[in-house]
Structure 1
């Protein structure tokens, strides 16, 4: 795959570097001219994996168009805070102070004529927000064509639920394969099937599948020799049957959130080493937790396993002093690398 030249990328709300990894997976010529993130933990992890990158720890509200122009980017990749658009964040939308950096960007992007491409990731529901409406109005006025998506990794043979909203914006150019007027809920399959221009990118996921029409099995991402403590205490099994339970043969896992390993319900899946023995456990008996723990061997997914489900490369690591709970928290705020890589490919084609 090739583009007309090296893409110069400004990575905003850069987190732990998921967008950077997506560029790398896509295989285009690129340079991350600057990455901007205010969170200290995320920045420590980003620096650990991208030590030579120009990482700026600062509030995006303080960045001017003139400062951005000095980096001379032609692409912006960003994943702004999602809390203003979630139920737990009270859906305050543009009234939430965490939305201020995005509102600031809307003000300065008209003064950045060199920007050709923009990709934004957020939670499903962002498409109904005032923030989205204001952003699309600004971009359309300065000549951007916009294509929006709802996509989930499970649509790409990846056994993980993580539905997300994506906005692609391209200046003075239509999207060749899609209608630019509607929200798409499917990625164009002809582009990732054999012969499609993104097929090679998607092939490494397909290779894990025993059935190309389905997700690969959870067993493909398991870490057999991990030293990470991922066990569940017996007291944590009180609400066991309400957990999202998966085994080696499962082809889907729950969405891992920043609360995984702190809370149990709705934060991500629990792995059962002996999933096939689930019917042997009678949760109506007294002290069933001990029997359950012994028979099924339930545990959390390890940090490496979650990284694999989110399509991070094997060379990507956390600093040794980052705990598994801290790792889960930052991963819960990150992206699926493979899905974003394919979308960047669609954006620059």
Structure 2
């Protein structure tokens, strides 16, 4: 069994994907209390609060893991951000982790990373690749959207796989699921206010769940806070509503049984799922690894 550590674990997208593989996530770290509470509500292994700027070679060696997964902060590389790249202090922990991988006594057998599409042209990507090449890893880089797998959700992301073993060709399985499979009409739908709808309707992506060709745009962490360019909306009788957090979670592959704890607000739930990743895509990415010892 491959033992893994999930860095910047969020609500556990990597852990959920690992359920289809012989990967045992033994450690998970984040700094967001709401994310940790959500993670620990849904998984038997527990996430811990830890400042990854303190993550060093000795710490990595002490974990005795075969697989290191990380989804570092995307803000330094997003189109909406200031794009300060490695100069952004939110990249500090990422640089620290790369140093740990490069200087530890026993580098993990496998390393993988997920980030926004803009990461592919960043200085951070160049540092990542050069660091892993120094250690001797085989590397593949992939841009993958869930819509390429038959999922009605557009969320293009950059993925890097690195292994001290040969990497296999990616296996893209096309599932062709319809949006209606993910929709559960809530008792109290979150409706868009009439004045907002009149003002921005032409800029909204409003879809019907029963439309077999319907797809959602990328849900961001600002969904429910920013009306424009943060995700799609659903028709609801004579109104238009937001997707529920659990509908988005299901659409991203977390399953119908994934729950957000009652201790966090709906706004926090939207932010957490907007910062998460497509489990469907991660499962596809993991198909490249030789996981048997």
- Category of TM-score, reference length = shorter chain: over 0.9
**Aligned match of 2:71:** 79
> In structure 2, what is the Cα distance between the partners aligned to 1:308 and 1:168?
25
Q: Which deviations, in whole Å up to 9, do the C-alpha atoms of 1:125-152 show, x marking residues without a partner?
A: 1111111111111111111011001110
Q: Determine the structure 2 residue equivalent to 1:219.
A: 180
Gaps in structure 2 of 5+ consecutive residues: none
Q: Secondary structure at the match of 1:239?
A: helix
Aligned length: 287
Whether the 8 Å contact between 1:84 and 1:91 is mirrored in structure 2 is yes
- TM-score (normalised: structure 1): 0.78
SS across alignment from 1:272: strand
> Deviation digits for residues 184-233 of structure 1, max 9, x if unmatched?
xxx554xx3xxxxxxxxx6xxx2xx4xxxxxx322221103x23541122
In structure 2, how many angstroms separate the alpha carbons of the residues matched to 1:21 and 1:54? 13
Moved more, 136-145 or 234-243: 234-243
Q: Compared with structure 1, are the counterparts of its residues 55 and 308 closer, same or farther at alpha carbon in structure 2 (3 Å cutoff)? A: closer
Higher RCO (CA 8 Å, separation ≥ 6 residues)? 2
State the 1:60 CA deviation. Answer: 0.4
- Flag the 1:112–1:102 CA change in 2: closer, same or farther, 3 A: farther
4+ long deviations beyond 4 Å: none
Larger radius of gyration: 1
What does the per-residue CA deviation read over 1:212-268, in whole Å, with 9 as the maximum and x for residues that have no partner? xxxx322221103x2354112212212112101111204311100011111111000
> What is the rounded CA distance, in whole Å, between the counterparts of 1:75 and 1:327 in structure 2?
28
Deviation at 1:72, TM superposition (A): 0.6
Aligned in 2, Cα 1:252/1:130: closer, same or farther, shift over 3 Å? Answer: same
Q: Is the 8 A contact 2:168 2:287 kept in 1?
A: no
Over 3 Å counting, the alpha-carbon distance change for 1:306 and 1:112 in structure 2 is farther
CA contact (8 A) 1:22 1:341 kept: yes
Corresponding position of 1:265: 228
1:58 has 2:50 as partner: yes
The equivalent of 2:281 in structure 1 is 339
The structural deviation recorded for 1:327 is 0.8
Corresponding position of 1:14: 9
